[in-house]
C-alpha cells in the first residue's frame, strides 16, 4: 500500500512543496486565531463563556453586549 502511494507521489512535480504549504496555512490560521482572541473585548469573552451554562439562549444574548 505504501509503495503504491509513494510511487504516485514521486511522479508529481514539486510534491515536496505540499507539506510546506500545509504548514504555512496552519501556522497562519493559528496565529490569526491567537490575534483574534487577543483583541477580543472582555464582554465578548464573558458572553461566550456563559453560553454553555445559560438556561435560555435568548437570556444569555440579551444580558451581554455583542
pLDDT by residue, tens only, the chain of 66 residues: 677 877 877 888 888 898 999 999 999 999 999 999 999 999 998 888 888 877 765 554 555 555
Tell me whether residue 54 is exposed, middle or buried, using C-beta atoms within 10 angstroms of its C-beta: 0 to 12, 13 to 18, 19 or more. middle
Give the pTM: 0.57
Is the distance from CB of 38 to CB of 60 less than 8 angstroms?
Answer: no
Joined together, the cell numbers standing for residue 12 give: 508529481
Amino acid at each position: 500500500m505504501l509503495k503504491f502511494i509513494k510511487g504516485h507521489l514521486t511522479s508529481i512535480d514539486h510534491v515536496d512543496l505540499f507539506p510546506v504549504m500545509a504548514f504555512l496555512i496552519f501556522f497562519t490560521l493559528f496565529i490569526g486565531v491567537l490575534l483574534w482572541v487577543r483583541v477580543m473585548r472582555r464582554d465578548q469573552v464573558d458572553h461566550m463563556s456563559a453560553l454553555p451554562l445559560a438556561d435560555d439562549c435568548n437570556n444569555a444574548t440579551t444580558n451581554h453586549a455583542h
